[in-house]
Chains A and B, each alone.
Chain A
């Protein structure tokens, strides 16, 4: 279980607990549940690296405590 912080620099900053083998899509759902946006509107990035929905967090090497950038499409 790891906890990831998602920040959109406009006031929304959430800390989401998830499993390492969750996909990014699942993470987006969790974020959406916490922030209130729609999950398919969320884009998670890390400095031009867009995290794709079907890939696991562990494959992206997203560890506990990492900060992800939250954008909207």
Chain B
């Protein structure tokens, strides 16, 4: 409860300190003291109640002295002594200071005390009521007093009334008419009846007289003359020149030429100051209004137009550029009307106007240049995927070449009649394309070269085909033989001095002697088959005599010329024949089969291996590794338990990072490995963080706080050579 009181007090104090109310200073104190009655409870009994402004009262010193004698002084002997000593020093004026500390000192006393202490004297506060202005908290600025709304309202009302009265006065002064009420002379009804009767009588008499005069006029025939005279008078009285200077509100162009237009005086405000009369035609007015309304409606529908073409055009032509034209009526109603129109009889102005119109029309037409650009863009077309004719021509322009150096002869059609038979340049190939043909055309065109290449390829293919066909025909063998014979025979006389070195021949020479050369009859299968048949019939009687005679082909047959072809040791692959014989021949040629007299191979060697290779080299092994019985996995000796075996089992499990694991973690690790699924990302991060924390834990110091507080404390103690350290942040004043 006590704390709440404190709170209330402090809160209230705060508010009060910032208040800007005029009740400042002593009044506030007084009020506060009056309200806070519970403060009496807090006051200790020996504290005397002194009114706040007691120091302002003149008999302050007297009262205080009388009061201070009463309260007991025992609880504070020390202070008493001090005060007594001081009071001895001080003069009578400072008695309150020495006597009772509860009071305040006067300004003079305070100033003396301050001087003693070395402080500057008190600033006497000036009265705030200079202008009724209120200073703010810091005393720097004057606050503007708030506007009094009630006063403002009163002032407004007053102003309104004054305006009204003024206007009334004005209007009354203008309307100086004789009121009906004023005319009457205060007569009664009978007098009025008599007056009206007299008036009637006079009217009748006047009418009679007029009739008599008319009769007389008609007799004398003066009536028409008089009428004419009157007309002329009237005409003279009101001639067109009297109308000179009157303003007509319509444009000259707007008035129709053929007909007479009746102009009437335009309506005018009664109290309007400008007394000018304006003539208007009712119909034209209506038309204008109608047109204006239409335009307004259009403009209202359009709203704000940033780029008003009409307005721009008008500005270009010389009319005034309207700014926010749609508010013209509201802003300045008369301005538009005053500009247009003309004055009757004012020929100069009319001519000037005509001139201006002409100039405008000229400008509109474009002047001598006549080049008004329109902002209308070319109309858009849908894009097409295909090019136009024009676009095609524009895009693909064919330029003539400067000079065609080469011309393809193929382009020209061959005229058969021109050439002789047999010499026509047929671009078809025959079977034997002589190499001279290629050499004969060195300076061919590119196209022709290409063509000839193609033709050459075609010729080669044809040749091959024909060669195959030739090969299939049996009697062609002789032909080929003859050809082959002929060729070397041809060439040798041509080059008998030089030695022809052929790469193939050289290679074959270096190969050396092939033992099986000639044994395998792989010259010509047909020939061989024929040969074999012949030999078989011959060899049958010798079959028992020669062991592998069927595998041997007689070298010395009548086929030596076959070796003439290049003399190389390489032959073409013998083609497999139809039966076993061909297969045997092939095998023999390849060396799979051995002749009689070959050295016997060791039995263990697999037949596909090479002949010179002997497996015994590989199989030879002296070491113990070889002697072990490979494939034996059983026990070799009896199983006996070791008697003195005391293993110290230390199951140490280690992490991937090298950290040792406990049993639980090890099992977890094993499970992961077993199932093939590891922990998720969150779990991994958790583990990583845990590991980091452990690392930090290991690094932290066990003796001190993280900020080395203990160490600093010890240092400080060492410096000050005292067992304690003073914890205070206050700025220390130099001792008095």
Residues of chain A having any CB pair with chain B under 8 Å: 1-3, 9-20, 22, 25-26, 29-30, 33-40, 46-47, 52-54, 58, 61-67
New A-B pairs, 16, CB < 8 Å, besides A20-B139, A30-B113, A40-B735: A1-B124, A11-B46, A14-B101, A14-B103, A15-B103, A17-B110, A18-B122, A19-B122, A26-B119, A33-B117, A34-B101, A39-B733, A53-B730, A58-B138, A66-B17, A67-B13
Residues of A within 8 A of B103 (CB): 14-15
- The one of B101, B104, B139 that contacts A12, using a Cβ cutoff of 8 Å: B101
State whether A47 touches B10 (Cβ < 8 A). yes
- The one of B47, B76, B105, B733 that contacts A53, using a Cβ cutoff of 8 Å: B733
Q: List the A residue with the shortest CB-CB distance to B106.
A: A17
State whether B731 touches A11 (Cβ < 8 A). no
State whether A40 touches B105 (Cβ < 8 A). no
- The one of A10, A15, A36, A66 that contacts B13, using a Cβ cutoff of 8 Å: A66
Sample 25 A-B pairs with CB under 8 A, ordered by A number. A1-B124, A2-B125, A10-B44, A11-B44, A12-B101, A13-B102, A14-B103, A15-B103, A16-B105, A18-B110, A19-B120, A19-B123, A20-B123, A22-B119, A26-B119, A33-B113, A35-B79, A36-B78, A36-B79, A36-B83, A38-B736, A46-B13, A65-B28, A65-B29, A66-B13
Distance in Å: Cβ of B307 to nearest Cβ of chain A? 63
Residues of B within 8 A of A29 (CB): 117, 119, 736
Contact A63:B13 (CB < 8 A) given known A11-B47, A33-B117: no
Q: Name the 8 nearest CB pairs between A and B, nearest first.
A: A15-B104, A36-B82, A36-B79, A17-B110, A1-B122, A35-B101, A65-B29, A47-B10
State whether B120 touches A33 (Cβ < 8 A). no
State whether B105 touches A34 (Cβ < 8 A). yes
* Contact digits for B82-125, partner A, Cβ 8 Å, 1 yes 0 no: 11001000000000010001111101001001101101101111
Q: In B117-145, which residues have CB < 8 Å from any A CB?
A: 117, 119-120, 122-125, 137-139
Residues of B within 8 A of A30 (CB): 110, 113-114, 117, 119
State whether B52 touches A65 (Cβ < 8 A). yes
Residues of A within 8 A of B731 (CB): 52-54
Residues of B within 8 A of A46 (CB): 10, 13
Residues of A within 8 A of B656 (CB): none
Report the separation of the CA atoms of residues A61 and B75 in the bound assembly, to the nearest whole angstrom: 34
B460 at interface, CB cutoff 8 A: no
Report the separation of the CA atoms of residues A36 and B545 in the bound assembly, to the nearest whole angstrom: 160
* Contact digits for B289-320, partner A, Cβ 8 Å, 1 yes 0 no: 00000000000000000000000000000000
Residues of B within 8 A of A47 (CB): 6, 10
Contact A64:B24 (CB < 8 A) given known A40-B735, A40-B736: yes
Contact A17:B122 (CB < 8 A) given known A26-B117, A63-B17, A65-B52: yes
Report the separation of the CA atoms of residues A49 and B117 in the bound assembly, to the nearest whole angstrom: 26
B25 at interface, CB cutoff 8 A: yes
Residues of B within 8 A of A26 (CB): 117, 119
- The one of A3, A36, A39 that contacts B101, using a Cβ cutoff of 8 Å: A36
Residues of B within 8 A of A66 (CB): 13, 17
Residues of B within 8 A of A11 (CB): 44, 46-47, 75-76
Report the separation of the CA atoms of residues A12 and B137 in the bound assembly, to the nearest whole angstrom: 29
B233 at interface, CB cutoff 8 A: no
Report the separation of the CA atoms of residues A67 and B119 in the bound assembly, to the nearest whole angstrom: 22
State whether A15 touches B55 (Cβ < 8 A). yes
Best-buried of A13, A19, A58, A67 by chain B (most CB within 10 Å): A13
Residues of B within 8 A of A53 (CB): 730-731, 733
Q: List the B residue with the shortest CB-CB distance to A31.
A: B101
Residues of B within 8 A of A64 (CB): 24-25
B332 at interface, CB cutoff 8 A: no
Q: List the B residue with the shortest CB-CB distance to A18.
A: B122
Q: In B1-56, which residues have CB < 8 Å from any A CB?
A: 6, 10, 13, 17-18, 24-26, 28-29, 42, 44, 46-47, 52, 55
Report the separation of the CA atoms of residues A67 and B28 in the bound assembly, to the nearest whole angstrom: 13
Residues of A within 8 A of B97 (CB): 33-34
Report the separation of the CA atoms of residues A66 and B14 in the bound assembly, to the nearest whole angstrom: 10
Q: List the A residue with the shortest CB-CB distance to B111.
A: A17
* Contact digits for B692-736, partner A, Cβ 8 Å, 1 yes 0 no: 000000000000000000000000000000000000001101011
Report the separation of the CA atoms of residues A61 and B139 in the bound assembly, to the nearest whole angstrom: 11
Q: List the A residue with the shortest CB-CB distance to B24.
A: A64
Q: List the A residue with the shortest CB-CB distance to B26.
A: A65
Distance in Å: Cβ of A60 to nearest Cβ of chain B? 10
State whether B736 touches A1 (Cβ < 8 A). no
Report the separation of the CA atoms of residues A61 and B735 in the bound assembly, to the nearest whole angstrom: 27
Distance in Å: Cβ of A63 to nearest Cβ of chain B? 5
Report the separation of the CA atoms of residues A65 and B56 in the bound assembly, to the nearest whole angstrom: 14
Report the separation of the CA atoms of residues A36 and B83 in the bound assembly, to the nearest whole angstrom: 6
Best-buried of B52, B102, B107, B730 by chain A (most CB within 10 Å): B102
Residues of A within 8 A of B119 (CB): 22, 26, 29-30
Q: In B352-366, which residues have CB < 8 Å from any A CB?
A: none
Q: List the B residue with the shortest CB-CB distance to A40.
A: B733
Residues of A within 8 A of B79 (CB): 35-37
Residues of A within 8 A of B733 (CB): 25, 39-40, 53
State whether A14 touches B736 (Cβ < 8 A). no
Q: List the A residue with the shortest CB-CB distance to B113.
A: A33
Contact A1:B107 (CB < 8 A) given known A25-B733, A29-B117: yes
State whether A61 touches B17 (Cβ < 8 A). yes
Residues of B within 8 A of A19 (CB): 120, 122-123
Contact A65:B25 (CB < 8 A) given known A39-B736, A40-B736: yes
Q: List the A residue with the shortest CB-CB distance to B728.
A: A73
Residues of A within 8 A of B736 (CB): 29, 38-40
Residues of A within 8 A of B116 (CB): 33
Report the separation of the CA atoms of residues A53 and B227 in the bound assembly, to the nearest whole angstrom: 120
State whether B104 touches A16 (Cβ < 8 A). yes
Report the separation of the CA atoms of residues A53 and B733 in the bound assembly, to the nearest whole angstrom: 8
Residues of B within 8 A of A9 (CB): 42, 44
Report the separation of the CA atoms of residues A37 and B76 in the bound assembly, to the nearest whole angstrom: 11
Report the separation of the CA atoms of residues A65 and B26 in the bound assembly, to the nearest whole angstrom: 8
Residues of B within 8 A of A14 (CB): 101-104
Report the separation of the CA atoms of residues A65 and B119 in the bound assembly, to the nearest whole angstrom: 21
Report the separation of the CA atoms of residues A58 and B139 in the bound assembly, to the nearest whole angstrom: 10
Report the separation of the CA atoms of residues A68 and B118 in the bound assembly, to the nearest whole angstrom: 23
Q: List the A residue with the shortest CB-CB distance to B76.
A: A11
Report the separation of the CA atoms of residues A38 and B116 in the bound assembly, to the nearest whole angstrom: 15
Distance in Å: Cβ of B500 to nearest Cβ of chain A? 123
Report the separation of the CA atoms of residues A46 and B44 in the bound assembly, to the nearest whole angstrom: 19
Distance in Å: Cβ of A35 to nearest Cβ of chain B? 5
Report the separation of the CA atoms of residues A16 and B52 in the bound assembly, to the nearest whole angstrom: 12
Distance in Å: Cβ of A7 to nearest Cβ of chain B? 8
Q: List the A residue with the shortest CB-CB distance to B18.
A: A61
Distance in Å: Cβ of A39 to nearest Cβ of chain B? 6
Q: List the A residue with the shortest CB-CB distance to B53.
A: A3
Residues of A within 8 A of B110 (CB): 16-18, 30
Distance in Å: Cβ of B104 to nearest Cβ of chain A? 3
Distance in Å: Cβ of B22 to nearest Cβ of chain A? 14
Report the separation of the CA atoms of residues A12 and B44 in the bound assembly, to the nearest whole angstrom: 9
Report the separation of the CA atoms of residues A69 and B46 in the bound assembly, to the nearest whole angstrom: 18
